[in-house]
Chain A
Amino acid sequence: MNNNYAIFIINLLQDINILRPLIFMANSHKLYTEILVTRQFSARDKGGSWLKEIEEIASKNNSIIYPVKDDSDALRVLNRKGGVIYAASESNLGAHSPTHNILKIAPSSFTTTTLQHGFECVGFLQSKQHDIAHGTNVEFAADTVCGWFPEEKMKSMLDSQKDKLIVTGPTLALQNTATEIDNEIPKDIGLICENLHSVRLSSSGDLKADFMDMFEGFCNRISEQKVVLRPHPGGQYVLKNKVKLPSNVTLVNSPTYKVGMSRFAYGVSAPSSVIIDMLLAKIPVAVWRDSEAVMDADNFAGLTEVRSIDDWVKFL
């Protein structure tokens, strides 16, 4: 049996961004890289643009892509192989079940690993709204979980899961490989990121309108300047809901690794891992909160908060 396999499971659209650096790394370590793409991913990737990203990554790393319909399909790929399996989003939550189940059934010739896929991340570090939406008993099927911080900062990690923890930091820190920044994207202007699909904006009442109203008000106040709006890759709220945007807004929907955050003059987002991306890109960052501060942003304490149009404008 050949144990030199690094297998990557892609189930959510945003998994690609998390796993990408590891696929490059595994290939550079002469491992056979294989990518399992779940049926649910294909359903989410309606335009097929994310599959193109996967194909691009695969072609650069000699990876084989396997579309898998179900667990037994996945097992057929894993049969008679060994090595390591990476999942970027895996837990006992419903949306993660395809990856959760594959890790459950993976042959014992594999070590299975789940990556913390965001700063606030279910099973690792949750906000109040995560707790409300998903509960506080999040478990992993993986043998090991790669986290961003030591155990004491993983406020949401169950004791039963702590022995699995290996502190590696985010894969974002490895994002230095053959990245082709999209030069068409405007620079030196503000970047606003929306994650309106997130439970953060719906578990304690609907805060989506609050965000959009403030965003529109802000755009109108700085109507002479342009801003970039970037929808969350997995959520795509403004696109899915065909939200009408002010005329000075440019929509950018490229994968994070092609955006090049440092091109922007500043960034604003509701609590989200993209804030960490922007911090690492060394641009000024503000955290958006609803005007009543219902949304939990404790994990982002210390950063500038904007809770009104005035706050936004003042932040500039």
Chain B
Amino acid sequence: MNLYIVVPSLEYLNQAGTRIRYRRIQESLQSLGARLEMVDIDTVSLQENYEGDLYIFSKCYDARAIILAKHLRAKGKVIATDIFDDYFSQVNDPRFVRLRSWFNQLVENCNFVLCSTIKMQNVIHHFYPDKKVHVLNDPYLCFEHDALAETLERKLAAAQNTMCIKIAWFGMGDNPNFKVGLQDLVAFSHYLEPIVNSEFKVELSILTNKRAMTTENLELLKSLPINFYLDEWTERKESILLEESLVSFLPVNFQNFSIVKSMNRAITALTAGTQVLSVGDDLYQALGEFVYRSPNDLLNNLRSGKLLLSSKTLTKLDKLLDTLANPMIEAQKLSDFISQFQNVEQKHTQQGKFVLCVINGKESSNSVNQLTKKLNGLSVKTPFTKSNNQFDVIVEVINNKLVFYVKEEVTKLLGKRVQGYISQRLSINKSLYFKVNLALIEELNCPIEFINFGSSIFSDTSDYPVIVKSIFSILEAVFPNSELVFSEQSKSGWWLS
């Protein structure tokens, strides 16, 4: 089976998420006869022959994923999406309406959903109880028992001899939507105080992404109870830091976004030979006996020379990680899971059987439009669309009523009867369009009159969901066998009922 992981852009191919989650199982999958490749969404859409059997969309948070999923399904491909960030359970947060709408549309076209934790699986099942969801744990890079045993002994001896505890904090320091990362480090830093006040010297090193190093965050770091060394994260610097550190400090806050995260940070820390001190949410509960929840326990164990992770406990950790992060085992479980879809009969099996209509909301990217065109879909401009692109269908509100224009070459896709309702031809942006008289479509059972439209931002906001719904109804009425995709990236207050 050929698996394609579809990421939003070329840059994502080298990001930590891709590196940890997919590259680490690539080899194991190969040995099981499954080929895993990673490719950016624009490259996939340019392929002439779609060679994959299974396409898994990862972090492709715009309508391109939905469009391509529909297209690939029609070609008999198995479709999935990998969800490892919870942007969906914050139902009171309007910033995520667009993502909930995106997920809702994508999941309909997926044979299954992949995720990285049981808790994330629970979130998905809460919204889609019948959807098949597979938990693919983030696997570790390597587990070298002997080298690790040596590292652990060296670190213990060094800490006891120099009376110095080297603490590491590493990873993404921010998130565009939530207060996480460096803010967690500062918020939970009082847990470091017993260590700072102990007989040991303490050195804290922080490796994080450049974007997180805002004045606000850096100023916050000043309130840490110890001096620190800060540097920009790279894979290499992380591995050097963990090689030198006795402890990784992993605070986790309690918001929905944080409590469903994968355990990869703790697993990276343990398999690199650092102790883990985790405070806040007990995200790493499954690693229980290898995770310190109290700094005093860590101090006491250091004094007695019996740290939780030591050359003596490594075999136990190895065994535990088999169930949580072993790349071979994770690959095997994934392979077993996806085998059920090998001969699946898809909803659409022939290309061209449906008319793909992509409805552009307030903000919809050019790349969505380009993909629509590439797949011979129809791009639809709503009265809210800001873009000046060429659209195949234009819906406007004129004299309080919805008016529906189709481009000349699109008229052939209209239902036979609807072609008879064309009432006017006119030029818009130097292209020829035809107006369809909506009043003549008998089966149309949706509002097309909006008396307050355009009078204020308030009326437009309240009209928004109704107009969009009407456009859905109109498209379904005029184009037989239409498949509709809604593309909206705006974060401003809007909703679809």
Contact = CB atoms under 8 A, between A and B. Distances in A.
A101 interface: yes
Interface in A62-82: 70-72, 75-76, 79-80
B229 A105 contact: no
B255 interface: no
Contact of B232 (A72, A105, A107): A72
B230 A101 contact: no
Given A72-B232, A75-B213, A105 B222 contact: yes
A281 B230 CA distance: 47
B227 A107 contact: yes
B47 interface: no
A101 B222 CA distance: 13
A109 interface: yes
Contacts of A71: 213-215, 218
Contacts of B443: none
B213 A104 contact: no
Given A105-B221, A105-B222, A108-B222, A76 B215 contact: no
A301 interface: no
Given A104-B215, A105-B215, A105-B222, A75 B227 contact: no
B211 to A, nearest CB: 10
B210 interface: yes
Contacts of B221: 105
A1 interface: yes
Interface residues of A, number: 15
Given A71-B218, A105-B218, A105-B219, A79 B213 contact: no
A75 B230 CA distance: 8
Contacts of B37: none
Contacts of B230: 72, 75-76, 79
B281 interface: no
Interface in A96-130: 101, 104-109
Nearest to A104: B219
Contact of A72 (B210, B227, B228): B210
Nearest to A97: B215
B210 A79 contact: no
Contact of A108 (B213, B218, B227): B227
A304 B213 CA distance: 52
Interface string B192-227: 000000000000000000100111001101100001
B245 to A, nearest CB: 16
B218 A72 contact: yes
Contact of B222 (A70, A72, A80, A107): A107
Contacts of A109: 227
B231 interface: yes
B207 to A, nearest CB: 12
A20 to B, nearest CB: 27
Contacts of B229: 79-80
A76 B210 CA distance: 12
Nearest to B218: A105
A71 B182 CA distance: 15
B213 A72 contact: yes
Contacts of A75: 213, 218, 230
A106 to B, nearest CB: 8
B215 A101 contact: yes
Contacts of A108: 222, 227
Contacts of A107: 222, 227-228
Contacts of A104: 215, 218-219
A149 to B, nearest CB: 30
Nearest to B221: A105
Nearest to B217: A105
Nearest to B213: A72
Contacts of B231: 76, 79
A302 B230 CA distance: 53
A101 B228 CA distance: 18
A107 B229 CA distance: 10
Choose among B210, B213, B218, B232 the residue with the greatest number of A CB atoms under 10 Å from its CB.
B218
A140 B222 CA distance: 17
Interface in B159-179: none
Contacts of A101: 215
A70 B211 CA distance: 11
By Cβ-Cβ distance, the 10 closest A-B pairs, closest first, are A72-B213, A105-B218, A101-B215, A104-B219, A79-B229, A71-B215, A105-B219, A71-B218, A75-B230, A80-B229
Interface of A: 1, 70-72, 75-76, 79-80, 101, 104-109
12 contacts: A70-B213, A71-B218, A72-B230, A75-B213, A76-B231, A80-B227, A104-B215, A105-B219, A107-B228, A108-B222, A108-B227, A109-B227
